[in-house]
Chain A
Amino acid sequence: MGIIEVKEITKVYEKITAVDHLNFEIEEGEVFGLLGPNGAGKTTLLHMLATLIKPTYGTATVNGYDIIREPGKVRRSIGIVFQEPSSDDILTGYENLMLHAMMYGVPRAEWKSRIREVLRLVELESRAHDRVRNYSGGMRRRLELARGLLHKPNVLFLDEPTLGLDPQSREHVWEYIRELVEVENVTVVITSHYMEEADHLCDRVAIIDYGKIKVMDKPSALKSEIGEKIILMGVKEVPNTTDSLPFLTGYTKENDRIELCVDDASMRLKRILETFPTFEKVEIVHPTLNDVFLKYTGRSIREGGTAEGGYMQRIMRQVKKR
């Protein structure tokens, strides 16, 4: 039995079906990625699983509790880091964590030690007593990650945890998440725009578009389905036929440049080089999740900023709001 089981879950807004009859399971201890372009329905799905909004149709269980009938129990067993920053910026980081500990039923005796633990994990100890409005975007993100973990949830939902972070902080956050899975033994559901992030972190990913899951599998399996490419450059002698290479799944020739699609390049290379004895350069191209994405959605995912502006702009707006 999966730790999350989604059954026919659907959310309809006035005009659009944001999430469309989804069915899938997530196993305990897994890092599960939801990949999709803007408006695909990732946040809507996460909010339903976190009991923040009600499905129009269908349901799901999280940690064995039904999200519609037992929202209180679901909430006690999950943590969530929202796509938008949601800490109170007039308070300090420490105070935000303390409020969270109090609201989420952390035993009083553990408040301080637990806060220290999560602060150490995200390396914010030295800034803990600064007001959040003086934090950088990345620091704020890390604070919210720490907050999501504070009450030791069984399942952690992360909605675009690294959106807008510089590559270095992004890799840092990946490390935290990896560490978490090991140290705290949580199941992580993460949404992302960054293909390499999903590839790096997730045991399994689902590609979601217009509220539907297009495909779901291990990143390696998805990529190997696409196959690899061998590119030969500076080819002088081209054989009349490629009949001797029955495993080819694709073949294109452009002047002296030849592209051959195969399932496993390292295995097929020898035969190919025998068929094309004269060449100057050979290159092997491994598929990325972006290629997978392209194949299933017909477009490439837009990295970074979203329709409503990048994460950093949004943070700056938040800061100015009060």
Chain B
Amino acid sequence: MSEVNGIAALWLREFKVFTREHSRVVSSIFTPLLWLVVFGGGLGSSIIIKGVNYQTFIYPGVVSMSVLFTSVFFGVYIVWDRKIDFLKEVLVAPLRRSTIFIGKVLGGMTDSLIQGSILLLLGPLFGVHYTIIVILKAYLVILIMAAGLVSLGLIIGSQMESPEGFGMVVSFVIYPLFFLSGALFPTEDLPSWLSSLVLLDPLTYGVDALRGTMLGTQRFPFLVDLAVLSSFTAFMIGIGTQAFKRMKV
């Protein structure tokens, strides 16, 4: 019971901080919109991919991107916690380290989910037609993806002393994940060296699942995407728990 309350406390705190730091929301909505409107709009006027306008084609990719950036960057808050010494208060609580990790992951997933939802609301403007099934499947994919990516951010954050260091390491991780995911281009007919890198990127399967769900153009079966994403997430949660166990104040 106390572990459940502990998770609730950690989640509640992240949620409150999130609702009070409006800059967190604004900045993470702004970048995806820039991609959609400027990049997508610019190229979209002349390019059609798989029967849809380019802007529509990258919409699921940009939603994934928003989840990717928000989730991984959430890891910086563990660095902040260390900096403002709040981490000591949490680590000396009679909670398991895995509980603390789960509480943080849920907090980060909530941030990502709220931002994802704002972007999903804009879907119809970019040519996506929603049904209940589409929305449920999209949320399922976003949730699994967010859980894995928040874990990834927290793993990095748990090892870092400064926010600047975190930013450095994360940019090495986040941009390859994004550009290799097929968020901005179809992944079927790539040179083989690029193709194998694309297949190694877990985000590829998230983008593919979202694109299939929203636009009906899919490379892998939905369940395959889900299976790969879930394995990635389970793996990240496993490593994250270990990283938190070893984390120092």
Contacts and interface: CB of A to CB of B under 8 A. Distances in A.
A90 B9 contact: no
Nearest to B12: A99
B88 A91 contact: no
Nearest to B249: A52
Nearest to B103: A103
A75 B16 CA distance: 26
A76 B93 CA distance: 7
B84 A89 contact: yes
Given A103-B6, A103-B10, A75 B92 contact: yes
A100 B2 contact: no
A321 interface: yes
Given A103-B6, A108-B5, A86 B93 contact: no
Interface stretch (A77-85, A181-189, A229-237): A77-85
B129 interface: no
Interface string B1-18: 010011011101100110
Contacts of B13: 88, 91, 95, 99
B94 A95 contact: no
A318 interface: yes
Contacts of A91: 13, 16-17
A80 B5 contact: no
Contacts of A318: 84-85
Interface residues on B, range: 20 to 34
A84 B89 contact: no
A105 B94 contact: yes
Nearest to A105: B2
A56 B91 CA distance: 19
Given A103-B10, A322-B80, A76 B249 contact: no
B50 interface: no
B94 A86 contact: no
A53 interface: yes
A95 B15 CA distance: 12
A287 to B, nearest CB: 37
A75 B96 CA distance: 11
B107 to A, nearest CB: 12
A154 B114 CA distance: 42
B143 interface: no
Contacts of B96: 72
A102 B16 contact: no
B8 A102 contact: yes
A59 interface: no
Give the residue among A50, A80, A105 with the most B Cβ atoms within 10 A: A105
A80 to B, nearest CB: 6
A279 B21 CA distance: 73
A90 B249 contact: no
Interface string A90-111: 1100010011101111001000
Contacts of A76: 94
B41 to A, nearest CB: 36
A75 B93 CA distance: 6
Interface in A272-322: 318, 321-322
Nearest to B6: A103
Nearest to A72: B94
A51 interface: yes
B248 interface: yes
B2 A86 contact: no
B8 to A, nearest CB: 6
Nearest to A92: B16
Interface of A: 47, 50-53, 72-73, 75-76, 80, 82, 84-91, 95, 98-100, 102-105, 108, 147, 318, 321-322
5 contacts: A75-B92, A76-B94, A88-B13, A102-B12, A108-B5
Interface of B: 2, 5-6, 8-10, 12-13, 16-17, 20-21, 80, 83-86, 88-96, 248-249
